[in-house]
Amino acid sequence: MLALPSRRWLPLILVPVFTACGGGSPGAPSAAAPAVAVLPARRPNIVFILADDLDVRTTAMMPRLPALIGQHGRTFERAYVTQALCAPSRASILTGQFPHNHRVLDNTGPDGGFRAFRRGPEASTIATWLRAAGYRTALVGKYLNGYPTAATPDYIPPGWDEWRAQLSDLTADRYVNYLLNENGTVNPYGARDEEYETDVLTSRAVTFIERSVQEQKPFFLYLAPDAPHLPAIPASRHATLMNGTEAARVPSFNEPDVSDKPAFVRNATPMTETEIRKLDRTQTARLRTMLSVEDMLADVLTVLAANQVLDDTYVFFMSDNGLMLGEHRLVTTKDVNYEEAIRVPLVVMGPGIAAATHDEEHFVLNVDIAPTLAELAGVFVPDTVDGRSMVRLLRGETVTEWRRDAVTESISYTGGLSAVLRTPEYAYSEIESGERELYDMRNDPYQVSSLHRRADPALMARLSARLAQLTGCRRATCRAEGGQPISRRGGGEW
């Protein structure tokens, strides 16, 4: 146990704090930065840690995450992403926009990844807003799929003072064979144990925090490790830990009867025992990679406390999307409409946030992150934003006008739409093929039995209309709280 100079006691498991040197040229400022609000005398620091493909069940299996952050902050039990895929989700986090508005629709291709983001929304992000307001900004880790283009490996996007980004488009094994663009200089890493990716990213993050404190400037750190994304290669110190772990055997695991599911699920054959054992080994490897993320979080909290800025810093922990781990026979799949893919962990600690609290009521989305960070920093949010600030929710205030539902969408290259509407009672899906699903999430939280064939037509029509409204929203219409709650009562029974 480590006593920290803070209003809290953080039960950190001690690991070395890295203090690597760095430096270089800052990213160019953005011409699209919004006007700055009147700022408080002491602006908070912000650390945003983004895991990659981390689902809620895997998060719950981690041994130290609750002690490191959950017991000291607020956990949002209804946190969802607007698309369950890396690049579209990260674009939504950085801009506060739905995929149908920022138009980063996939990880690759002309409408996907870094290429699509640079073409449009990159000019106005949370980084450009905060940097224009006097924050020292840094991105450490993964930026977007396809970053950079081979012709410009030293490219630094606008808004970033420190840039330590993985060259995703030129990297093979992520954890042990990778390239970083470090403030315009491309460096290879991974040949030695001490160059394990999560550890190198941690050292860069710690150095950024120390320098920012020395310069007496508020800072924004966007810290994005690859873990637990496949191929899940753990650090050597963790290679034999977490033995006996496996994919959760929930009621939908390797689902025997998928006759009520869409064709792509019906076409998935049941897993054999050999395939299940392989999936279990994959899950164990994913958990092992997350042990290094726990070390990362511990190091970040330790350096914040050692520099006496922990009490002035908000720390966010989130994932870009979830992952299917055998549910409905789907193995390491995402960008689907099921709960395991669209729901993500989200925990926040910081000034004014009560310890060990849970929000089980409010739907929050990744598009809410940018406006939330902006309000915490005292920066006006551009009208292009679709999300809403969560600051009042962070403080535990009663917010009656909040959204009553959430949508996750996926738009194909042909323009076809697949989407799911999540309400407190239902998960209603429409996919590009014309197939539909409906689940009673209170009585069937694992989505085993779709009710779409026997549900009241009036209910289905209301859900479909609301889904269409949200997948076509823009700016203020996305931020509106919506109509009355959709219930089976008054609209017929099953």
Which residue, among 343, 338, 344, has the nearest Cα to 326 in the 3D structure? Answer: 338
CA distance 491 to 456: 7
pLDDT at residue 13, as a whole number: 37
Question: At residue 491, does pLDDT exceed 80?
Answer: no
**Hey, how many other C-beta atoms are within 10 angstroms of the C-beta on 476?**
10
Tokens 């299940």 correspond to what residue?
Answer: 276
Pairing of strands 178-182, 185-189: antiparallel
SS3 400: coil
Q: Which residues of 129-145 are buried (b: 16+ CB within 10 A; e: fewer)?
A: bbbbbebbbbbbbbbbb
Listed in sequence order, the residues at least 6 apart from 389 whose beta carbon sits closer than 8 Å to its beta carbon are: 368, 371, 372, 374, 375, 381
Question: At residue 202, does pLDDT exceed 70?
Answer: yes
pLDDT at residue 482, as a whole number: 62
pLDDT at residue 172, as a whole number: 72
Listed in sequence order, the residues at least 6 apart from 405 whose beta carbon sits closer than 8 Å to its beta carbon are: 363, 421, 422, 423, 424, 466, 470, 482, 486
pLDDT at residue 22, as a whole number: 34
Handedness of CA 321, 322, 323, 328 (dihedral sign): negative
Residues 3-9 have a mean pLDDT of: 37
pLDDT at residue 168, as a whole number: 78
**Hey, how many other C-beta atoms are within 10 angstroms of the C-beta on 293?**
26
Question: At residue 45, does pLDDT exceed 60?
Answer: yes
Residues 287-306 have a mean pLDDT of: 98
Question: At residue 25, does pLDDT exceed 70?
Answer: no
**Hey, how many other C-beta atoms are within 10 angstroms of the C-beta on 443?**
9
**Hey, how many other C-beta atoms are within 10 angstroms of the C-beta on 181?**
24
pLDDT at residue 474, as a whole number: 97
Question: At residue 19, does pLDDT exceed 90?
Answer: no
Question: At residue 485, does pLDDT exceed 70?
Answer: no
Percent of the chain with pLDDT over 90: 85
Active-site annotation holds for 86: yes
Residues 221-230 have a mean pLDDT of: 98
Query: How far from chain centre, in Å, is Cα 88?
Result: 11
Residues 20-45 have a mean pLDDT of: 47
Question: At residue 352, does pLDDT exceed 50?
Answer: yes
The pLDDT mean for the chain works out to 90
Q: How confident is the model at residue 146 (pLDDT cuts 50, 70, 90)?
A: very high
Percent of the chain with pLDDT over 70: 89
Q: Higher pLDDT residue, 31 or 65?
A: 65
pLDDT digits (tens, 9 = 90+) for 243-284: 999 999 999 999 999 999 999 999 999 999 999 999 999 999
Tokens read off for 386: 């679709």
Which residue, among 84, 14, 27, has the nearest Cα to 411 in the 3D structure? Answer: 84
pLDDT at residue 494, as a whole number: 41
The residues pairing with 178 across neighbouring beta strands, listed in sequence order, are: 189
Question: At residue 326, does pLDDT exceed 60?
Answer: yes
Listed in sequence order, the residues at least 6 apart from 342 whose beta carbon sits closer than 8 Å to its beta carbon are: 80, 81, 84, 321, 322, 408, 420, 422
pLDDT at residue 38, as a whole number: 45
pLDDT at residue 150, as a whole number: 73
Residues 189-210 have a mean pLDDT of: 96
pLDDT at residue 480, as a whole number: 86
Contact 138, 2 (CB under 8 A): no
Tokens read off for 128: 């450009």
At the top level of CATH, which class does the domain 45-404 belong to? alpha beta
What is the rounded (10 degree) CA torsion for 471, 476, 479, 481?
-100
Beta-strand runs (E) in 195-323? 219-224, 313-319
Residues 160-183 have a mean pLDDT of: 90
pLDDT digits (tens, 9 = 90+) for 354-390: 999 999 999 999 999 999 999 999 999 999 999 999 9
Q: How confident is the model at residue 41 (pLDDT cuts 50, 70, 90)?
A: low
Ordered by start, the domain boundaries in the chain are 45-404
Q: Higher pLDDT residue, 215 or 484?
A: 215
Q: How confident is the model at residue 157 (pLDDT cuts 50, 70, 90)?
A: very high
